[in-house]
Structure 1
Amino acid sequence: MTKWPVLARQAHAAAWLQAWEDLGRAPRTVDAYARGLAEYLELCEREGVDPLSAGRPHVAAFVRVLTTRPHRRGANVVSIESGAGLANATIQQRLVPVRLFYDFLMEEGLRESNPVGRGRYTPGRRGSGRPRGLVPRLSKLPWIPTEQQWLDFLEVARCEPIRNRVMLALAYDAALRREELCSLRTDDLDPAHRTVCVRAETTKNRLERVVPYSAPTGVLLAGYLAHRAAISRARGPLFLSESRRNHGQPLSLWTWSKVVRRLALAAGVERFSTHTTRHLCLTDLARMGWELHAIASFAGHRHTDTTLQYIHLSGRDPAEKLKNGMDHIHAWRIQMLAAGDPREDTAGGARP
Structure 2
Amino acid sequence: MQVNSEHIDKWLALQSDLGRAANTVAAYSYALRDYQKFCSALNTCVNTASREHVAQYVRNLLDRCVVKMDSDGSRQGVFANATVRQRITVVRLFYDYLVEEGLRTTNPVGRGSRLGGRYRRDVRAVVPIQHKMPWIPNEEEWQKLLSEACAMSLRNRLMLALAYDAGLRREELCLLHTEDIDPSFRLLHIRAETTKGNRDRIVPYSACTGQLLRDYLVFRRQLTNARGALFISESSRNFGIPITIWTWSKVIRALGNAACLPKFSTHTLRHLCLTDLARSGWELHEIATFAGHRNTSTTLIYIHLSGRELAAKLASASSIHGSRMEAIKGAFQ
**What TM-score results when the alignment is normalised by the length of structure 2?**
0.87
1:15-43 alpha-carbon deviations (Å, 9 max, x no partner): 11111111111111111111111111110
AA paired with 1:310? Y
Residue 189 of structure 2 aligns to a residue in which SS? strand
When the two chains are superposed, the root-mean-square deviation of aligned CA atoms in Å is 2.5
Question: 4+ residue runs of structure 1 moved beyond 3 angstroms?
Answer: 6-9, 74-85, 317-320
Q: Which protein, 1 or 2, shows the higher relative CO under an 8 Å CA cutoff with sep ≥ 6?
A: 2
Give, in angstroms, the shift of residue 69 of structure 1. 2.1
Q: Is 1:107 aligned to 2:111, yes or no?
A: no
The answer to which of 204-213 and 74-83 deviates more is: 74-83
Indicate if the aligned counterparts of 2:223 and 2:240 stay in contact, CA closer than 8 A. Answer: yes
AA paired with 1:189? I
Give, in angstroms, the shift of residue 82 of structure 1. 4.8
Aligned to 2:42: 47
AA paired with 2:38? L
Indicate if the aligned counterparts of 1:41 and 1:51 stay in contact, CA closer than 8 A. Answer: yes
Give, in angstroms, the shift of residue 120 of structure 1. 2.9
Indicate if the aligned counterparts of 1:156 and 1:267 stay in contact, CA closer than 8 A. Answer: yes
Aligned to 1:179: 171
Distance change in 2, residues 1:106/1:80 (3 Å)? farther
Residue 10 of structure 1 aligns to a residue in which SS? helix
Distance change in 2, residues 1:7/1:67 (3 Å)? farther
Aligned residues: 310
- Could you tell me which runs of 5 or more consecutive residues in structure 2 were left unpaired when the two chains were aligned: 315-333
Identical residues among aligned pairs (%): 53
Aligned to 1:282: 274
Indicate if the aligned counterparts of 1:67 and 1:85 stay in contact, CA closer than 8 A. Answer: no
AA paired with 1:10? S
Aligned to 2:146: 154
Aligned to 2:162: 170
**In 1: Cα distance, 2:73 partner to 2:102 partner:** 40
1:286-332 alpha-carbon deviations (Å, 9 max, x no partner): 11111111100000011111111111111113665x88xxxxxxxxx
**In 1: Cα distance, 2:83 partner to 2:90 partner:** 12
AA paired with 1:115? P
The answer to which of 61-70 and 268-277 deviates more is: 61-70
Give, in angstroms, the shift of residue 226 of structure 1. 0.3
Match 1:98 to one of 80, 91, 95: 91
**In 2: Cα distance, 1:94 partner to 1:7 partner:** 21
Residue 226 of structure 2 aligns to a residue in which SS? coil
The answer to which of 177-186 and 308-317 deviates more is: 308-317
Distance change in 2, residues 1:19/1:276 (3 Å)? same
Alignment of 1:241-260 (within 5 A): 241-260=233-252
Rg larger in structure: 1
Give, in angstroms, the shift of residue 91 of structure 1. 0.8
Match 1:194 to one of 186, 192, 214: 186
AA paired with 2:203? V
Distance change in 2, residues 1:103/1:78 (3 Å)? farther
